[in-house]
Structure 1
Amino acid sequence: MLHHQFLWYKTLIHLFRMIQNNLKFKELPESVMIFGCGYIGTALAKVLLGNGVRVGALTRNQSQAELLRSLGAKEVLQCDLHDANWPNYLQLPYQSAVNCVSSAGGGLLGYRQSYVDGQKVILDWANTQKLNNFIYTSSTSVYPQGGGVVVTEQMSTQDCSESALLLLESERLIQEQQSLFQKHYIFRLAGIYGPKRHYLLDQLKAGSSIIAGRGDYHLNLIHCNDAVNALLIALSSEKNVESGIFNLSDGNPSFKHELVSYLASKLGLKQPVFDPSSTSLRVRHREGSMPDRIIANNKLIESFGWQPIFPEFRSGYEAILSDF
Structure 2
Amino acid sequence: MSAVIAGCGDLGTEIGLRLAGLGHEVVGLRRRAELVPPPLTGVSVDLSTEVPELPGDVDLLVVATAADERTPEAYEAAYVDSLRHVFDGVRAAGSLPRRALLISSTAVCGSGDGEVVTEDTPPDPVTPTARVLLEAEDLFHEQFPYGTVLRLSGLYGPGRTRLIDKVRSGDAAGGAAWTNRIHRDDAAAAAVHLLTMADQPLTLYLGTDDRPVPEREVLEFVAQELGVPLPEDVPEADSPPRGAKRLSNARLRESGFEFRYPTYREGYRAVLAGEGSRHS
TM-score, with length taken from structure 2: 0.89
In 2, Cα distance between the equivalents of 1:264 and 1:173? 43
List gaps (5 residues or longer) in structure 2: 276-280
User: Residue 145 of structure 1 contacts residue 151 of structure 1 at CA under 8 Å; is this kept in 2?
Assistant: no
In 2, Cα distance between the equivalents of 1:210 and 1:275? 13
Structure 1 residues 159 and 321: CA distance shift in structure 2, 3 A: closer
The residue number in structure 2 matching 1:283 is none
The residue number in structure 2 matching 1:73 is 40
User: Residue 49 of structure 1 contacts residue 71 of structure 1 at CA under 8 Å; is this kept in 2?
Assistant: no
User: Residue 125 of structure 2 contacts residue 131 of structure 2 at CA under 8 Å; is this kept in 1?
Assistant: no
1:229 aligns with 2:200: no
In 2, Cα distance between the equivalents of 1:109 and 1:276? 34
**Among 89, 96, 114, the residue aligned to 1:130:** 96
The residue number in structure 2 matching 1:158 is 124
**Among 65, 72, 80, the residue aligned to 1:101:** 65
**Among 62, 74, 95, the residue aligned to 1:110:** 74
Give the CA deviation at 1:198. Answer: 2.8
In 2, Cα distance between the equivalents of 1:305 and 1:59? 31
The residue number in structure 2 matching 1:294 is 246
User: Residue 178 of structure 2 contacts residue 246 of structure 2 at CA under 8 Å; is this kept in 1?
Assistant: yes
1:189 aligns with 2:141: no
For 2:61, the aligned partner's letter is A
TM-score, with length taken from structure 1: 0.78
Give the CA deviation at 1:321. Answer: 1.9
1:169 aligns with 2:104: no
In 2, Cα distance between the equivalents of 1:67 and 1:274? 41
User: Residue 211 of structure 1 contacts residue 274 of structure 1 at CA under 8 Å; is this kept in 2?
Assistant: no
In 2, Cα distance between the equivalents of 1:158 and 1:130? 31
What's the CA shift string for 1:64-100, capped at 9, x where partnerless? Answer: x3242x41223x222321223433xx45531110001
Structure 1 residues 276 and 118: CA distance shift in structure 2, 3 A: farther
What's the CA shift string for 1:137-162, capped at 9, x where partnerless? Answer: 10000011422110111222235211
User: Residue 220 of structure 1 contacts residue 251 of structure 1 at CA under 8 Å; is this kept in 2?
Assistant: no
User: Residue 251 of structure 1 contacts residue 294 of structure 1 at CA under 8 Å; is this kept in 2?
Assistant: no
Secondary structure, aligned partner of 2:159:
coil
1:245 aligns with 2:212: no
User: Residue 146 of structure 1 contacts residue 293 of structure 1 at CA under 8 Å; is this kept in 2?
Assistant: yes
In 2, Cα distance between the equivalents of 1:323 and 1:307? 22
Secondary structure, aligned partner of 1:216:
coil
Q: Number of residues paired by the alignment?
A: 272
In 2, Cα distance between the equivalents of 1:292 and 1:58? 36
The residue number in structure 2 matching 1:139 is 105
The residue number in structure 2 matching 1:14 is none
4+ runs deviating over 6 angstroms: none
**Among 265, 271, 274, the residue aligned to 1:320:** 271
User: Residue 34 of structure 1 contacts residue 55 of structure 1 at CA under 8 Å; is this kept in 2?
Assistant: yes
Secondary structure, aligned partner of 1:95:
strand
Q: CA RMSD in A?
A: 2.3
1:119 aligns with 2:80: no
1:264 aligns with 2:215: no
The residue number in structure 1 matching 2:278 is none
In 1, Cα distance between the equivalents of 2:274 and 2:77? 37
Q: Select the structure that is richer in helix.
A: 1
User: Residue 211 of structure 1 contacts residue 275 of structure 1 at CA under 8 Å; is this kept in 2?
Assistant: no
Give the CA deviation at 1:178. Answer: 2.3
Give the CA deviation at 1:234. Answer: 1.1
Structure 1 residues 106 and 318: CA distance shift in structure 2, 3 A: closer
